[in-house]
Amino acid sequence: MKQMTFADAEYASKRKQTRKELFLIEMDQVVPWKGLIALIEPHYPKGEGGRPAYPLMAMLRIHLMQNWFGYSDPAMEEALYETTILRQFAGLSLERIPDETTILNFRRLLEKHELAASILGVINGYLGDRGLSLRQGTIVDATLIHAPSSTKNQDGKRDPEMHQSKKGNQYYFGMKAHIGVDDESGLVHSVVGTAANVADVTQVDKL
């Protein structure tokens, strides 16, 4: 049986998805994980029996979530206990949550070997090659704006600025409002309108 991916797990459930969920789903798909693991692995210490206490992939994902959402080490540990979506992104269960000291030590490991800046550089370069960008400290939201039933212009053609997009199991034709929200106050500080099929991460630098 094929193992369920992070994105599959999120789409397989439930209710309305949060901005944080949608952002993590996109980052799970676009970040070059194998390349980053290869960059860090030679420096990652092995535990008893030659295996590390926590998988390198989990620690890397935790480190990136700290950068994206501004968590301190203690706050990151608590967030992993409290928030299912963060545990799922890291690939961890409640029985295997690294404490704040472990999280701190991983960051220090990256700093010691001058890997922290390289990791962010690899991610930003990878995104940049695909016309994407990411700015720390902004949580991205996207709201679909439905086109009116009459979507044709005077020439009898569909509005060229509007496109079709799928959200869940439903298709929409119209535009999308990408909303930038301050990660501390929760207040909206910017809105960018695009066609409905434009990915959220392509608009982060404008929010």
Every domain of the chain and the residues it spans: 6-129, 138-206
Q: Tell me what the mean pLDDT of segment 108-117 comes to.
A: 93
The CA-CA-CA angle for residues 94, 182, 92, to 5°, reads 15
Confidence of residue 128 (pLDDT cuts 50, 70, 90): confident
Q: Check: CB of residue 129 under 8 Å from CB of residue 161.
A: no
pLDDT of residue 67: 86
Distances (CA, A) of 84 to 54, 78, 110, 167: 18, 11, 26, 21
Q: Check: CB of residue 77 under 8 Å from CB of residue 99.
A: yes
pLDDT of residue 188: 47
Q: Tell me what the mean pLDDT of segment 159-180 comes to.
A: 53
Share of the chain above pLDDT 90, in %: 32
Structure confidence by residue, pLDDT tens digits, 29-65? 989 999 999 999 999 988 766 666 799 999 999 999 9
Q: What rounded mean pLDDT belongs to the chain?
A: 73
pLDDT of residue 144: 41
Alpha carbons 144 and 172: distance in angstroms, whole number? 8
Alpha carbons 146 and 150: distance in angstroms, whole number? 11
Top mean-pLDDT range of 24-38, 117-131, 151-165: 24-38
Structure confidence by residue, pLDDT tens digits, 54-112? 999 999 999 999 988 889 999 999 999 999 999 999 999 988 899 999 999 999 999 99
Alpha carbons 81 and 97: distance in angstroms, whole number? 7
User: Model-level pTM?
Assistant: 0.60
